[in-house]
Amino acid sequence: MGKDVRPFSKLMKKVVVIGCGGSGKSTLAIKLGKATGLPVYHLDRIFWQPSWESLPKDIWREKQKELVSREEWIVDGNYGSTLEIRLQASDTIIYLDMPRWLCLYGALKRFFQYRGKVRPDMTEGCKERITWEFFSWIWNYRKTKRPETLAMLETLKEEKKVLILRSRKEVDAFLRDHPTSKVSR
């Protein structure tokens, strides 16, 4: 069988955006949604209920299955317990493999930008916060989560479009060069 030569935009109907906290997942998902017309779903908005209450595990898994059964979507967020559901249903995976310092900067910038407010990709009633647990997760991500994520992506690269973007410049170039890009940066 020959390689599929349809334009990339025709192949991109179910997109997963993953990466360390503060890497720019939500921002990329929003811009990509505007560029492609695909609906964007933020996992933080689905998982967190008002006052930072998490969904029960069984309901969370069911919501993931329902979400990926839709015809088109962009989903941003990691949530390792359900990541496999999204990866298997996707046709495109975008991994933001940003340096630690950039992720820390992104998380702190977001905290100060939305301090005392609910950010647009979050559930109403969840005012922006930064916890030691989240900070520690970002700090240790490259050691703990990155190797297993890269290994997982390696196993999927033959059947899915896997993009690994390692800098803001690469993200901007991806958005600029995307065939349906209407994004203003």
Is 23 in contact with 105 (CB distance < 8 Å)?
no
pLDDT at residue 179 in the model: 61
Sort residue 47 into left (φ over 0), alpha (ψ -120 to 50) or beta: alpha
pLDDT at residue 184 in the model: 34
Is 95 in contact with 15 (CB distance < 8 Å)?
no
Q: CA 18 to CA 33: how far, in whole Å? A: 15
pLDDT digit string (tens) for the chain, length 185 residues: 333 333 445 568 999 999 999 999 999 999 999 989 999 999 999 999 999 999 999 999 999 999 999 999 999 999 999 999 999 999 999 999 999 999 999 999 999 999 999 999 999 999 999 999 999 999 999 999 999 999 999 999 999 999 999 999 999 999 988 765 443 33
Decide: helix, strand or coil at residue 156. helix
pLDDT at residue 99 in the model: 97
Each domain of the chain, given as residue ranges in start order, spans 8-172
Would the pTM of this model clear 0.95, i.e. be above it?
Answer: no
CA distances from 101 to 14, 15, 18, 117 (A): 30, 26, 17, 24
103 Cβ contact partners less than 8 Å away, ≥ 6 residues apart: 19, 20, 21, 22, 23, 138, 141
pLDDT at residue 185 in the model: 32
pLDDT at residue 178 in the model: 72
pLDDT at residue 177 in the model: 85
Superfamily of domain 8-172: P-loop containing nucleotide triphosphate hydrolases (3.40.50.300)
Is 17 in contact with 74 (CB distance < 8 Å)?
yes
165 backbone dihedrals φ, ψ, rounded to 5°: -110, 125
Is 67 in contact with 59 (CB distance < 8 Å)?
no
